[in-house]
């Protein structure tokens, strides 16, 4: 969608910086826009949605877009403004996927699916390999749930394992966090990869495939570091957080009401998590391997992300809810409550879509593309570096992803890359967006406080873990891109 805009829209050279000719003026606009975005988020502490919207308007006006182009006109209500098209274009793709994925994760969380999964893995691997079991739990359970929800649900299991062994909490929480972070960065239905796929018009099947290809080696590298740091830095079990988490879980159980005594089957958890992934991948590869036919149309219909996630959610409603004694009211309560935190994510993603549309429509993105193209670096390297810098500077992975996608879109449009290559570029963007989580990232403080780790030790463990995950994911994406 952004590629078409990049090809059809001529660059503007007027506006507030009209005295600086052509590309130079547009590059100045781009640089000042990104600086303004960082200042508003870091110094002014403006909410990212408001900051992105403000910067989008400022960049558009400075680059020469008219008020009519940005906002439309009152007289012609049917005309779609650049802000409306940018917001609507991305949210039309992202909102449904994130909403369905969020409700699916909530049902898995409240039903006890995480506890059943971790108990089975701990039983299989034994006490000596409990850190690996925790890592696999985070990896599998992280597919349908957000990062912070995963911490909330799995933290008591980490505490129990650490208390039983008498070893450092880091030995158990870091592998689990690496698994959660990998899925959050590289796999749908998480906001980052889904937003990037929408902005760059990439099929989610390719995102899933390349997310696994890049994410698995990355998480293995992160697990190796987790084992190393976990044996060198001792952190005791935080009793206060354990009590707080248990109290919160009891409150959730009261809200849900009486649930059946039937335990959650691990096979059921795997089936529900795997269903949308298998259906989406089947649809992607049927479009490549099969000739047009009724069978292919059926596979592509069932494997459309909207349909695949709906099927998985309905399965979860029945298998984890109704069949285990939940009432319809309980299902509604859990589903509705899960959507409350999603609003902020969707607004930030939508504002990122606006920023991308303004960059395209004003010609700023094309000017950036020309300069980056002359730099001689591959697009996948530039995408990683831009995302990394934005992440380290302002802390938000989502902001880093949507901003970077808007900047690199015209570069990709010039070379007409395959879906597989585009998916690898998105992997590079996602990898850059998780580099060096530190004090300006909410995830840093969540990890520190939930697991009772000092700021210094959090920097030595979590910050470095995220950097290892980021670099390893990017290296794999870059290597694979040579052959795709």
106-146 residue pLDDT tens: 888 788 887 888 888 888 888 889 999 999 999 999 998 88
Instruction: Compute the distance between CA of residue 404 and CA of residue 2 in angstroms, rounded to an integer.
Output: 13
The whole-angstrom separation of Cα 94 and Cα 97 is: 5
CB 208 within 8 A of CB 277: yes
Model pLDDT for residues 278-289, shown as the tens digit of each residue? 999 998 888 878
Give the separation between CA 441 and CA 397, rounded to whole angstroms: 9
| Rounded distance between C-alpha atoms, residue 169 and residue 222, angstroms | 16
Residue 17's pLDDT is what?
47
Check residue 243 and give its pLDDT: 61
Confidence (pTM): 0.80
Predicted pLDDT at 316: 92
Q: CA–CA distance from 197 to each of 138, 302, 401, 405, 455 (Å)?
A: 24, 19, 10, 9, 35
Most confident stretch, 29-33, 234-238, 427-431: 427-431
Q: Residue 22: what pLDDT?
A: 67
In which band, very low, low, confident or very high, does the pLDDT at 84 lie, cut at 50, 70 and 90? confident
Label residue 155 by pLDDT band (50, 70, 90).
confident
Through-space distance between the first and last CA atoms of the chain, rounded to whole angstroms: 22
The rounded mean pLDDT for the chain is 84
Six token digits for residue 454: 């000092």
> pLDDT for 323-380, tens place per residue?
888 888 888 888 888 888 788 888 888 888 888 788 878 887 777 767 776 777 899 9
Task: With a cut of 80, say whether residue 98 has pLDDT above it.
Answer: yes
Give the span between the Cα atoms of 463 and 82, in whole angstroms: 38
């Amino acid at each position: 969608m952004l590629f078409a805009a990049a090809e059809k829209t001529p660059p503007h050279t007027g506006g507030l910086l009209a005295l600086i000719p052509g590309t130079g003026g547009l590059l100045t606009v781009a640089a000042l826009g990104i600086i303004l975005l960082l200042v508003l988020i870091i110094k002014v502490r403006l909410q990212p949605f408001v900051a992105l919207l403000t910067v989008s308007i400022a960049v558009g006006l400075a680059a020469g877009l008219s008020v009519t182009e940005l906002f439309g006109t009152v007289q012609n209500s049917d005309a779609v403004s650049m802000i409306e098209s940018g917001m609507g274009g991305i949210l039309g793709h992202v909102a449904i996927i994130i909403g369905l994925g969020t409700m699916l994760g909530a049902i898995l969380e409240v039903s006890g699916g995480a506890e059943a999964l971790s108990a089975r893995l701990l039983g299989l691997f034994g006490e000596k390999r409990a850190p690996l079991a925790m890592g696999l739990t985070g990896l599998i359970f992280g597919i349908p749930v957000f990062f912070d929800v995963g911490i909330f649900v799995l933290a008591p299991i980490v505490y129990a394992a650490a208390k039983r062994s008498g070893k450092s909490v880091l030995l158990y929480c870091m592998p689990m966090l690496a698994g959660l972070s990998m899925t959050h960065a590289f796999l749908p239905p998480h906001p980052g990869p889904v937003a990037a796929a929408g902005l760059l018009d990439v099929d989610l099947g390719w995102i899933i495939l390349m997310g696994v290809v890049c994410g698995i080696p990355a998480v293995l590298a992160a697990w190796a570091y987790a084992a190393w740091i976990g044996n060198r830095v001792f952190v005791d079990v935080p009793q206060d957080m354990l009590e707080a988490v248990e109290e919160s879980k009891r409150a959730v159980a009261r809200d849900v009401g009486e649930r059946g005594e039937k335990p959650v089957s691990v096979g059921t958890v795997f089936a529900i998590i795997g269903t949308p992934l298998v259906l989406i991948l089947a649809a992607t590869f049927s479009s490549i391997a099969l000739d047009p036919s009724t069978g292919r149309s059926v596979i592509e219909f069932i494997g459309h992300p909207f349909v695949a996630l709906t099927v998985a959610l309905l399965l979860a409603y029945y298998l984890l809810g109704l069949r285990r004694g939940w009432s319809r009211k309980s299902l509604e309560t859990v589903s509705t409550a899960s959507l409350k935190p999603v609003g902020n994510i969707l607004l930030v993603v939508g504002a990122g879509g606006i920023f991308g549309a303004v960059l395209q429509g004003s010609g700023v993105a094309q000017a950036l593309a020309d300069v980056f193209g002359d730099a001689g670096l591959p697009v996948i390297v530039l995408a990683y570096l831009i995302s990394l810098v934005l992440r380290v500077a302002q802390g938000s992975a989502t902001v880093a992803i949507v901003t970077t996608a808007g900047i690199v879109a015209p570069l990709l449009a010039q070379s007409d890359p395959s879906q597989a290559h585009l998916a690898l570029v998105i992997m590079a963007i996602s990898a850059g967006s998780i580099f060096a989580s530190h004090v300006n990232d909410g995830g840093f403080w969540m990890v520190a406080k939930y697991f009772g780790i000092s700021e210094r030790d959090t920097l030595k463990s979590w910050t470095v873990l995220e950097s290892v995950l980021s670099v390893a994911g990017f290296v794999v994406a870059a290597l694979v891109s040579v052959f795709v």
